[in-house]
Amino acid sequence: MLRLEKRAQPSNFWNWATPLLAVALTMVAGAILFAFLGKDPFAAIKMIFWDPLFNPQFAAYSRPQLLVKAAPLILIAVGLAIGFRAGIWNIGAEGQYIIGALCGAAVALAFFPSPGWYIFPLMVLAGAAGGWAWAMIPAILKTRFNTNEILVSLLLVYVAEKILAAMATGRMRNPDGAGFPGSRNIAQYPAASNPEIIAGSGMHWGVVAAFIAVIFTYILLHKHILGYQIRLAGQAPRAARFAGVAPARLVVMCLGFSGAMAGLAGLFEVAGPARMISIDFNVGYGFTAIIVAFLGRLHPVGIVLAGLLMALTYIGGELAQFMLGLPGAAIQVFQGMLLFFLLALDVLSNYRIRLSWPEAA
């Protein structure tokens, strides 16, 4: 018989080994899924993880896209990691991402076609402020009325999606677009665009912001008293109160920071790769960033590696859809498996698996 035996202390080895094991099991389970769909599983796994980086036929396009796809995931995930460490669960980063994009795009369209240098910095501030303000709704409801931030933040995603659709077909619709939904192409507006800093590298200001956020988060968590309070609140809430940690202030800070990071991700995306506000602007980065945060063990450096890996599955998944005819839903299931295996294997960090034989009657 198998039984779980509680460890005296969480295992550091399994804490860092389980993400690697989860990736390996995801590959195995994904290969079985692709085989059931009638596709060559080895070709599919190779197309997702190997070809975007090392196949000369695809690498010239795919390598720069790795940074483009990873930047919003890393930005959102480092913001979420702060709250998750404190036991504050912001599941609505997708909504904050949408509102940040809308606020940033609104600034660009309001100044169109002015060439002022100040427009893009104003867009950055508006994007961060929009995401922050949207995250303040669950924060205030949590601190004032003790509501569940998981449910409130998640439901606000659907409200944000309705606002996005209304803006794409209403106030932000391109007046020269022959009635089609969607805003002006912001990338064609030099003062408001977010182009590549180094041509052909995929690096734009969103990538720079992501790495600045990673450094800032690392310093905050490991070198500042606030980081100690965040970790203490997540590990021992009662001890945190005795240590003078104010729970309400921590909720507002954590949700506000994660909302601002998600809003920035939306702004850099709409001013760069997405180029415009459209009905289908959001592609699930806010939800995928939750996988990235946990896969990176809520550690800033781990989040960078996890963000690059998840970006690789996006790029490789698109290639597999185009080259092998895999359905898009199968790629989403493949990404979901990663979180499933990661959460399932987390038990190894706190428990040992013991084999015992039943005693004879």
Least confidently predicted of 104-113, 180-189, 313-322, 351-360: 351-360
The H-or-E segment that residue 353 falls in is strand 351-355
Instruction: Calculate mean pLDDT across residues 198-212.
Output: 89
Distance between CA 250 and CA 139 in Å, rounded? 10
Opening angle at CA 266, ends 257 and 285, nearest 5: 90
Q: Is the per-residue pLDDT at 359 higher than 70?
A: no
Q: Number of folded domains in the chain? A: 1
Tens of pLDDT, residues 115-145: 888 999 999 999 999 999 999 999 999 999 9
**pLDDT at residue number 242:** 78
How confident is residue 179, by pLDDT bands cut at 50, 70 and 90? confident
Look at residue 50 and tell me if it is in a domain.
no
Going 72 to 78 to 81 to 82, the CA torsion angle's sign is negative
Question: What tens digit of pLDDT does each residue of 6-63 get?
Answer: 888 888 888 888 999 999 999 999 999 999 999 999 999 999 999 999 988 888 888 8
Query: 283-307 pLDDT, tens per residue?
Result: 889 999 999 999 999 999 999 999 9
**What residue numbers bound the domain in which 279 lies?**
68-200+212-296
pLDDT tens-digit readout, 320-355: 998 989 888 888 898 889 888 988 888 888 888 887
pLDDT digits (tens, 9 = 90+) for 242-262: 778 888 999 999 999 999 999
The alpha carbon of 119 is separated from its chain's Cα centroid by a whole number of angstroms, namely: 26
pLDDT value for 358: 67
DSSP 8-class letter at 188:
G
6-11 long-range contacts, Cβ below 8 Å, gap at least 24?
Answer: 6/350, 6/351, 7/349, 7/350, 7/351, 7/352, 10/349, 10/350, 11/348, 11/349, 11/350
Residue 307 lies in a domain: no
Report H helices in the chain.
12-36, 41-49, 51-54, 56-85, 93-111, 119-145, 149-169, 205-223, 225-235, 237-242, 247-271, 285-295, 300-324, 328-345, 347-350
Tell me the pLDDT band of 113, cut-offs 50, 70 and 90.
confident
